[in-house]
Amino acid sequence: MPYTPLQITFLGTGTSSGVPMVGCHCEVCTSANSKDKRLRSSILVQSPTTTLVIDSGPDFRQQMLTHRVDQLDAILFTHSHKDHIAGLDDVRAYNYFQQKPMDVYATEATLNRVKVEFDYAFADVKYAGVPSIQLHRLNNNDAFIVGDMEIQVIPVWHMFMPVIGFRMGDFTYITDANRIEDSAKEKIKGSRILVLNALRQEKHISHFSLQEALDLANELQIPEVYFIHLSHQMGLHETVSQELPSGRFLAYDGLKIQIH
């Protein structure tokens, strides 16, 4: 893939319930450490000329305001679960200021769900102010271009649900997975930086556990790995971070990494 320098900002690193979890008073949910406060998982990807977001969950508006994202060229969806698409309505502000529809890239199954969840945006007769969205269908083996970024689709499995990750040069992003086929692993190999979901310490039915994520990162021989989609069951950020091997990190909201 062509060389394009990127800045990655972790907008959210939590699981579907976020951290703290409503009604929970465990040591993680009551922690005063800002790194234990996790919005729903999403990243901001910025190149010299292009800005995109991977997944716009329920915290999308808050994330855009916090990081002062005044221009957004596209949203890429990994899958259709609510914690990854629920904030799409808030592209209305970008429609207004940029005077164009928001480009949204996803698989056909995810786009179909988007059209159901936000049916008013696709109605034959639209009321004033609805979001304007331009849908782009992706297949499992697609490579596509957004601005100056060439992006490779990486198919993975979230139990029985197909999910897609994305590779951009030396950077690969995978969330909501517990199984990756060998053909997809080949597409990840050679990445310098991998972002990978690791829900908690204990095994889970549809997400990698921390140990499973560590094992996969080692199998793929990725030098630098950041774990996301973390639940309060993972443990305190500082405690778990001290136990991780070299080159393995718990991501946290607001973390920025440069890819040159």
Q: Does 1 have pLDDT greater than 80?
A: no
Give the model confidence (pLDDT) of 60-92 as tens digits.
999 999 999 999 999 999 999 999 999 999 999
Give the model confidence (pLDDT) of 231-241 as tens digits.
999 999 999 99
Q: Write phi, then psi, for 156 (nearest 5 degrees).
A: -135, 175
Which has more pLDDT, 112 or 2?
112
Tokens (6 digits) for 3? 């060389």
Q: What is the DSSP letter of 24?
A: -
Q: Does 134 have pLDDT greater than 60?
A: yes
Q: Closest by alpha carbon to 208, among 160, 240, 176?
A: 176
Give the model's confidence band at 2: pLDDT under 50 very low, under 70 low, under 90 confident, else very high.
low
Give the model confidence (pLDDT) of 10-55 as tens digits.
999 999 999 999 999 999 999 999 999 999 999 999 999 999 999 9
Q: Per-residue pLDDT averaged across 124-129, rounded? A: 88
Q: Does 97 have pLDDT greater than 50?
A: yes
- Domain coordinates of the chain in residue numbers? 6-259
Q: Mean pLDDT across the chain, nearest whole number? A: 97
Q: What is the DSSP letter of 120?
A: G
The whole-angstrom distance between residue 164's C-alpha and the CA centroid of its chain comes to: 10
Alpha-carbon distance of 244 to 242, in angstroms, equals: 6
CATH 3.30.420.10 fits 6-259, yes or no: no
Judge if pTM exceeds 0.85.
yes
Alpha-carbon distance of 151 to 166, in angstroms, equals: 6
Q: Per-residue pLDDT averaged across 153-161, rounded? A: 97
Which strand ranges, in their side-by-side order, compose the sheet holding 74-76? 133-138, 102-107, 74-76, 51-54, 42-46, 6-12, 256-259
Looking at the chain, how many residues does it have? Answer: 260
